[in-house]
Amino acid sequence: MTRPATDPPATAPAPPQPFTDPLRTPRAQRIAEALGPVRPPEPGESTSRNQLTHHALARLAAVLPPARQLLHDRSLLAELSACTALMDPALYMTVVNHYFLCLGSVVASADERQQAAPELARVVEELESGRRKGVFLVTEIGDATSHLALRTTAEFDPRNREFVLTTPDPGAAKCSAVGTPGSAQSAVVCARLRVGGRDHGVHPFLVDLCDERRTAPGVSLSGALGAETLPLEYALVRFEGARLPYDRWLRGEARIDADGAFRDPHGDPGRALQRTLDVGRALWATVPSAAAATARASAASTLRHSRHRRSHGRLAPEAPVLSYSTQQRAVLGALAEAFALDCASRTALDIWQQSEKARTDPNASPTTETAFSPWAAVDRRLSAFKALAVAGAVRVTAECRRRCGLAGHLTVNRLSGYAGLAEAFGAAGGDNQLILLDIGRALAEEEAPAPADGTSRPAGTDDPAWWLWTVSALEQRLTAGLRAALDERRQRAPEGMDLWNPLLEQARQLGEVHTLRLAAQSVADATRTADDTDPAAAALAALYGTGQALRLAGPLLWTGVLSPGAAAVLEAAADRQCARLMSSLDTLTARLAPPNALVPVPLAASDYAAALAATADRTPGGCS
């Protein structure tokens, strides 16, 4: 049985608009100036990481507009994301929790009358001023994909018109980047609403967790838990009869009448989780901006370092490391993928804008059935761009660290921080693997589209359109293959896990290729509008496509998209494209490197040793 497509109908692409680099706007400069040099606490320092990020939030609040204005300004959100991710990945995660998810839930689900209620207005004002830090509590520690079966409850007390929050057992404890008391914190808590003993699905509630001295009544915070990839203070949060006033329920258009009757014009309890997690759309639309910024910074710093770093091997003593073809392939390939991520970040913002304009009453809108996670059901296209951007940033930052030796692992050069951020977002904000599984499943279960008008295959890999044609063909063949396997298994009448378990890897691979096709389309759109006198974009696009084809050579061969002969010449094509780019290194760096004020790392200096020594002299405790 097939289902109709759930994405909005395809429309003619809008005319390309000039893309403003989110790192080079006046507002980005003000954000950078407000934050100043951001550093982690030194060993033994009394100021915790949580307190440092809390202070940074207060400085950001001085230059950012109120939440309702901020969260509808896609360009400013992209600038905020890119700048904070570059300057301090841990701060970026704090900004995501505070602005995108916590305040974002308030803006999305509390109307102006509710926000004016004294009990809610006080907390919102403290959050917007930065005096109070906001977090988002959805994940429960006991089970995988806990979002689909949340067990934290909010029981309505009709006598007092309050909600009572309860964590039924340790497995239902929430986990997030919540610091221990020392600064005021509130959380949007995703909990299962119960009214009169009946379950009405998962809804968001704004809950005070602690002030500067103690936790709130009915709230339990564990000691701090660390995570090496992203240095924040995490904690487990449990609720033991915490009471919330009625207006702390971020209810949208739902109501509980004076007689205790629950009313929601937007459908059944199963839809409530999707509406609660709709706040993630702004995050997914802007994660690509943060990922692209860190990938650009990593690749540009590594390129500069490789140009100045000398090799003393017997083959070519005193030669720059970048003269080695292996280093060229790795570093220029990373730069090409960073360029592709930059193009994709532009598309993600455009899609978000279009989807915001096209949104209608959820009761009248088709929805995607949730299978592995709720994320693709909220917005399949934006969740795909999130998965694409994070996976690309993981590859770029990992390759750059490998190609810089010890320098790639020193904290002061930031590559490790950028790598940790990318790795953390593989699970944060929606698990990438589950997103890809649901995308692959949805593609296989949709009705097969009508055959597209035939387009001729581009002549060769040096054509920027070659990779788009190739990955589109691969997506079509993988979709047909999974659809056929699904139909064959259905003949035996299995369902659920029996049906899908043997097909999961096919679904995941199809989901990944779908995201790569989206990136290829973004690159093709960007290069189609590039100035003919600037060949850098076309050259980067060609190398990006060749590099992805090499990475996916297996599927391209066994699906027949590439012949063995065509696959065999990919290595030579990559070397040829790198050689072509070697004559444009200054242009490439100028195009993609962030402003020095945002990433003042020794790695990018022409004299690395002197810059590292100077940084170590200025940093208490050395270059750690």
Token duo for residue 553: 């050579």
pLDDT tens digits, 522-579 = 999 998 876 555 688 999 999 999 999 999 999 999 999 999 999 999 999 999 999 9
- pLDDT on residue 349: 95
Residues contacting 74, CB < 8 A, separation 6+: 285, 286, 349, 352, 353
The confidence score (pLDDT) of residue 451 equals 61
Q: Which are the contacts of 139, defined by CB distance < 8 A and separation ≥ 6?
A: 146, 147, 174, 175, 176
pLDDT of 314 reads 83
Question: Would you say the CATH fold of 279-359+368-451+458-610 matches that of 133-278?
Answer: no
CATH number for the domain formed by residue range(s) 133-278 = 2.40.110.10
pLDDT score, position 453: 57
Q: Are 197 and 228 in contact (CB under 8 A)?
A: no
Please enumerate in sequence order all residues whose Cβ is within 8 A of that of 366, keeping only pairs 6 or more positions apart, or say none. 4, 6
Domains in the chain: boundaries: 26-129, 133-278, 279-359+368-451+458-610
Q: Which of 120, 131, 138 is nearest to 177 (CA)?
A: 138
Buried b / exposed e over 276-289, threshold 16 CB at 10 Å, is: bbbbbbbbbbbbbb
pLDDT given at position 38: 57
Q: What is the pLDDT of residue 40?
A: 55
Q: What per-residue confidence (pLDDT) applies to 374?
A: 80
* C-alpha–C-alpha distance, residues 208 and 216, integer Å: 7
What is residue 223's three-state secondary structure? coil
Half-sphere exposure of 182 (CA within 13 A, CB side): 17
Instruction: Report the C-alpha gap between 598 and 408 in whole angstroms.
Output: 18
Count CB-CB contacts under 10 A for residue 329.
Answer: 20
Please indicate, yes or no, whether the overall pTM of this predicted structure exceeds 0.85: yes
Q: What is the pLDDT of residues 292-337, one digit of tens each?
A: 999 999 999 999 999 999 988 888 888 999 999 999 999 999 999 9
Per-residue model confidence (pLDDT) at position 6:
37
Tokens of 195: 């009214």
Rounded CA separation 159/147 (Å): 30
User: Both ends of the chain: CA-CA distance in Å?
Assistant: 58
Q: What pLDDT does residue 452 have?
A: 59
pLDDT (0 to 100) of residue 4:
34
Mean pLDDT per 10-residue section of the chain, whose length is 624 residues? 37 43 93 78 57 85 94 95 94 95 93 82 93 94 85 96 96 89 90 95 95 92 84 91 95 91 84 88 95 97 94 86 95 97 96 75 50 79 96 98 95 95 93 94 83 71 94 97 94 86 96 98 87 77 98 97 96 96 92 90 92 79 40
SS3 (DSSP) at 445: helix
- Tokens in use for 537? 């974009």
What is the CATH code of the structural domain delimited by 279-359+368-451+458-610?
A: 1.20.140.10
Contact predicate 63/57, CB 8 Å: no
